[in-house]
């Protein structure tokens, strides 16, 4: 009898030790933050390691942001990355875990003078999905008034549009745009000089959760990741990308 209860106790402890699966939606391929289909990237690593701190095992799902927001509303995933309170979706939002540095970029030969969001009026623009929600109210108003504003489900398309001259300007994170240059170099001339217009403050991003309890646990893991120094180690790992 005693031996039997001993084994029951071991099985119970083993079940507690098993990680709880957290289904997290990430956007499509956007290196160096997320490498679609691969368990790596600055953003993926931060989310994954923070989750592991508190007993979660991340099951990553990759899709365009619009689809991910729909999946979150339907309860098909537990959380969505790279979002915040202005996303337009009701969720429990985590603490900020990463900042993106979005900018406007154009071919230098265009000779544009862009010093503020209002200067984008009248230009054709390609941005990332849900940029109209995530880059502030002034940008949203401009986007909604501009018939030549578009958002790309696959961010690599912005590089093709930019270098081919099919849009006036592109909006996005500088590191992502630069990273994609190598992937479109056989399609467009990426040696053309670019001018960058830094008219946005860094964009803070959070995870949006269906359940508050999962949000609170993730926040705890994120704090532990920062306090241990591992957050800084992960960030440095991608500085050269």
Burial of 33 (0-12, 13-18, 19+ CB in 10 A): buried
pLDDT of residue 6: 53
pLDDT of residue 11: 43
CATH of domain 102-197: 3.40.190.10
| Cα-based distances in Å from 108 to 48, 131, 165, 179, 193 | 39, 23, 11, 19, 6
pLDDT of residue 88: 81
Q: What are the two backbone dihedrals, phi and then psi, of residue 93, each rounded to the nearest 5 degrees?
A: -95, 135
Give the residue extent of every domain in the chain: 2-99+203-237, 102-197
- DSSP states of the chain: -HHHHHHHHHHHHHHHHSPEEEEEEE-S-BTTTB-TTSS-SHHHHHHHHHHHHTTEEEEEEE--HHHHHHHHHHTSSSEEEEE-GGGSS--EE----EEE-EEEEEEGGG-----SGGGGTTS-EEEETTHHHHT-HHHHHHHHH-TTEEEESSTHHHHHHHHHTSSSEEEEEHHHHHHHHHHHTTTS-TTS-EEEE--SPPEEEEEEES-HHHHHHHHHHHHHHHHHTHHHHHHHHTTT-
pLDDT of residue 240: 53
Q: Which CATH number fits domain 2-99+203-237: 3.40.190.10, 3.10.180.10, 3.40.50.300, 3.40.50.720?
A: 3.40.190.10
What is the chain's pLDDT, residue by residue, as a tens digit (241 residues)? 444 545 544 444 444 446 799 999 999 999 999 999 899 999 999 999 999 999 999 999 999 999 999 999 999 999 999 999 988 889 999 999 999 999 999 999 999 999 999 999 999 999 999 999 999 999 999 999 999 999 999 999 999 999 999 999 999 999 999 999 999 999 999 999 999 999 999 999 999 999 999 999 999 999 999 999 999 999 999 875 4
What sign does the CA torsion over 44, 231, 181, 193 have? positive
- Residue recorded with tokens 């990273």: 179
Q: What are the two backbone dihedrals, phi and then psi, of residue 41, each rounded to the nearest 5 degrees?
A: 125, 150
Query: Over the Cα atoms of the chain, what is R_g?
Result: 21
Total-model pTM: 0.85
61 conformational bin, left if phi > 0, alpha if psi -120 to 50, beta if neither: beta
pLDDT of residue 1: 43
Residue 6 tokens, joined: 């001993």
Establish whether the linkage from the previous residue to 32 is cis, with ω within 30° of 0. Answer: yes
On the question of a common fold for 2-99+203-237 and 102-197, the answer reads yes
């Amino acid at each position: 009898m005693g031996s039997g209860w001993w084994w029951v106790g071991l099985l119970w402890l083993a079940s507690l030790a098993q990680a709880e699966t957290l289904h997290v939606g990430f956007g499509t391929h956007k290196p160096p933050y997320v490498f679609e289909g691969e368990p790596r990237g600055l953003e993926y690593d931060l989310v994954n390691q923070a989750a592991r701190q508190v007993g979660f095992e991340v099951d990553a799902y990759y899709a365009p942001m619009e689809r991910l927001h729909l999946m979150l509303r339907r309860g098909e995933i537990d959380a969505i990355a790279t979002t915040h309170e202005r996303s337009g979706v009701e969720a429990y939002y985590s603490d900020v875990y990463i900042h993106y540095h979005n900018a406007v970029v154009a071919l230098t030969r265009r000779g544009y003078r862009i010093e503020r969001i209002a200067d984008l009026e009248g230009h054709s623009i390609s941005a990332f999905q849900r940029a109209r929600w995530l880059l502030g109210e002034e940008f949203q108003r401009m986007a909604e008034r501009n018939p030549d504003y578009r958002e790309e489900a696959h961010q690599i398309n912005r590089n093709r549009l930019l270098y081919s001259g099919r849009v006036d300007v592109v909006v996005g994170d500088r590191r992502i745009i630069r990273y994609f240059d190598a992937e479109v170099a056989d399609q467009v001339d990426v040696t053309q000089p670019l001018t960058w217009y830094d008219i946005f403050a860094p964009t803070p991003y959070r995870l949006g959760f269906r359940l508050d309890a999962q949000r609170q646990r993730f926040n705890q893991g994120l704090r532990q990741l920062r306090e241990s120094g591992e957050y800084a180690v992960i960030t440095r790992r991608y500085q050269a990308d």
